[in-house]
Structure 1
Amino acid sequence: MIQPRPRPPGDPAGCNVLITGGAGFIGANLADSLAAAGHRVVVLDTLARPGVEANLAWLAERHPAALTAVTGDVRDADLVADCVTEADVVFHLAAQVAVTTSLVSPMEDFAVNLGGTITVLEAARARRVPLIFASTNKVYGNLPNLPLTAADDAYVPADPELRRWGIGERQPLDFHTPYGCSKGGADQYVLDYARSFGIPTAVLRMSCIYGPRQMGTEDQGWVAHFLISAIAGRPISIYGDGRQVRDVLHVSDAVTAYRAAWERIESIAGQAFNLGGGPSNAVSLRQVLAHIETLVGRPVDHRFSEWRAGDQRYYVSDTRRAQSVLGLPVPTPWRRGVSDLAAWLTSTRGTGGIGGPGDRYTSLMGAGE
């Protein structure tokens, strides 16, 4: 059984936090922030992806007295129940993250993303523990009926209101690919546990999250993948024409949103929020690549390939509701954030980062694109 660490004297507000997938990109950043704030953090992670051990080692070095690491799977009901026993809140971030993997192994994708979420929800229900779930913009499908204009380097919505504000939570759900179905089903189960069982739950439907401790691949984490390839002098494959647009959000801003959701969990129970950089951080793959070329000081070799299943040509979050209800600050400007990630990636060269084993690992977040 997981034994909670004793509450330190003079810190009566310290809580026990469980983060599934806590060794991944967003999970590690969230764990670091919560541990630094005086909470005791249990990280449950399979450590299945090469390189995530580095995130866990980083956390253990920074917070030796506040961190408990548990190697295991969210499909293990007994282990999950054990981890939830002393938790004051659960952040459920563990997932199978890649659309491509879901198309190859849909049963595995279903078992981890939907089955694992039910397992975590049931453990939370048994102790009535609040739960915040990492969902994805993929729950809205590939938005095929969204009228777009192809500008020189980016798709632009024909609707001026959509261009101004982005896509809100009233957008109909439309699951595409096994990944979209498994994450979308999990999203709906999390919301229904608030309705059916009165468990305080909330959902954050994330767009593209990026930042330090991310080592992206072609399948997931494209901003980091572009930077890693550019710094290492490797060619980049772009699926589609590169004009597809996302509202990128720095991981520090995502962590702020997760903490804000926890602080307000009783008032927001049963609600979903679109979380991204919003229209001010809407950027195409081509635009990000051009900025990366200025950062590395040379052209980046890139090639275009066929579109991938379920890819959205345009997705920008309408963040007004999240900003209002959760009290979120203005997000980090994308150029500054990408420069921040480039500096971190450069500093990791030769230490298991770029050019090392970490090249192949992805975050444990499906929505981190």
Structure 2
Amino acid sequence: MIDAPILITGGAGFIGSNLADRLLSEGHRVRVYDALARDGVERNLRWLQDRHGEQVEVVIGDIRDREKLAGAAADVRAVFHLAAQVAVTTSMLDPRDDFEINILGTLNILEALRARGNATPLIFASTNKVYGDLTDLDFALEGEAYVPTDAAVRAHGIGEARPLDFHTPYGVSKGAADQYVLDYARSFGVPTAVLRMSCIYGRGQMGTEDQGWVAHFLIRALEGKPITLYGDGHQVRDILDVSNAVDAYVQAWRRIGEVGGRAFNLGGGPANAVSLRQLLAHIGDLTGREVDLSFSDWRAGDQRYFVADTRLAERELGLAPKVGWREGVAELARWLAAERRLNAPVGQARAMAS
């Protein structure tokens, strides 16, 4: 099967297209399976086709289409399952759609691989939302950011031993899919691995208020438009450049014999932990003007703090050092300004404590 393609569901999306580009650049054939439902993904697809030509095969389809998805998986050597409904807010408006995409769609690809019976690996994109809202942890406000009072959590972040606690329909659907993927390794011998992602950002991201918030903040700031923060803006996330996320996916596939049936937290870790307010201050420095802010109520399931303990993933997957968040955000700002043909200045921001 050395010449067989690699299937990426959601391969025209932000992370999927970056992953496809990496695999194609390494000489693999890639089959992109995508419904093209999200704004901007057609641009990602054209970019892949322009760069890689016939090496990239495109199947326009929905992961809820069991027969079409099984056909797309019939001859592949590996699957990266990234297609999903990705917004908490959307799941609150239409829980059934969220269920069908995230749970049934995942079951469809797992069943397709089980039916093949040849141990085709699957790497699944999960989320840190499987750990719930973390309200049992205590936090202190230090400067512009919440920090845990627990010394171990503060030093390393949230580890994989943390109990699962699904909140919101999105958290439930992604969490259920996460568990299905792990159980298919146990029950049926399908070699699978799960990456529970924090906030990924980087080149190719066209974020919105509901998903892809780092790019959303940058786009609004570059265009001189106001930004609404939900909550107080002190909430902290460990943001990770997409190049590092792609490394993790590729390494999970390459090491599937050693890491099959396991879940790993994937994020920027404590060194890349930043509050929304700190990020916006950095963006203000990059653009040369203060960001226009307004505030609204906290949103359902929002975590005051989430930083991934990435030590297990780094050790087991052999990951390279991470791009620093200041450098990565500055690079994304330059890319967005060029991509959107904006004349807003984008410079190097001063160093600031995170």
Could you state the TM-score of these two structures normalised by the residue count of structure 2?
0.95
* Contact 1:42–1:70 (8 Å) recurs in 2: yes
CA distance, structure 2, for counterparts of residue 255 and residue 195 of structure 1: 26
Q: Distance in 2 between matches of 1:218 and 1:339?
A: 20
Shift of residue 65, structure 1, vs aligned partner:
2.1
Within a 5 Å distance, the mapping from 1:1-369 to structure 2 comes to 14-127=3-116, 128-350=119-341
Q: What 5-or-longer segments of structure 2 have no aligned partner?
A: 345-354
Deviations 1:301-353 (A, max 9, x none): 011110000000000000000000000011100000001100110111149xx
Q: Are the equivalent residues in 2 in contact too, given 1:14–1:38 (CA < 8 A)?
A: no
Displacement of 1:14: 4.9
Amino acid at match of 2:235: Q
- Distance in 1 separating the partners of 2:75 and 2:55: 14
Distance 1:65 1:47 in 2: 19
3-state SS of 2:322 partner: coil
CA deviations 1:247-273 (Å, max 9, x no partner) are 100000000000000000111111000
CA distance in 2, matches of 1:318, 1:20: 27
Matched to 1:266, the amino acid is G
SS of 1:64's equivalent in the other structure is helix
Deviation at 1:131, TM superposition (A): 0.4
Letter aligned with residue 122 of structure 1:
E
Q: CA deviation at 1:13?
A: 5.1
Code of the residue aligned with 1:177 in structure 2: it is: T
User: SS of 2:137's equivalent?
Assistant: coil
Moved over 4 A (4+): 12-15
Aligned pair count reads: 341
Q: Which amino acid aligns with 2:132?
A: G
Q: Which amino acid aligns with 2:73?
A: V
Where 1:190 maps in the other structure, the secondary structure is helix
Q: CA deviation at 1:51?
A: 1.5
Range that drifts further, 13-22 or 28-37: 13-22
AA matched with 2:164: L
Partners of 1:189 and 1:24 in 2: how far apart? 23
> What is the distance in 2 between the residues matched to 1:15 and 1:168?
36
Deviates more, 1:48-57 or 1:186-195: 48-57
**Native 8 Å contact 1:207 1:275 kept in 2:** yes
Q: Name the % identity.
A: 63
- Whether the aligned pair in 2 keeps the contact of 1:208 and 1:246 (CA below 8 Å) is yes
Q: Conserved in 1, the CA contact under 8 Å of 2:99 and 2:173?
A: yes
How far off is 1:192 after superposition?
A: 0.0
Q: Contact conserved, 1:31 with 1:41, CA < 8 A, in 2?
A: yes
Q: Find the aligned partners of 2:42 and 2:49 in 1 and give their Cα distance.
A: 10
Q: What amino acid does structure 1 have at the position aligned with 2:224?
A: G
- Measure the CA separation in 2 of the matches of 1:132 and 1:143: 26
Task: Provide the rounded CA distance (Å) in 2 between the counterparts of 1:348 and 1:122.
Answer: 39
User: Alpha carbon RMSD of aligned pairs, Å?
Assistant: 1.2
- The structure, 1 or 2, with the larger RCO (C-alpha pairs under 8 Å, 6+ apart) is 1
- C-alpha distance in 2 between matches for 1:349 and 1:181: 36
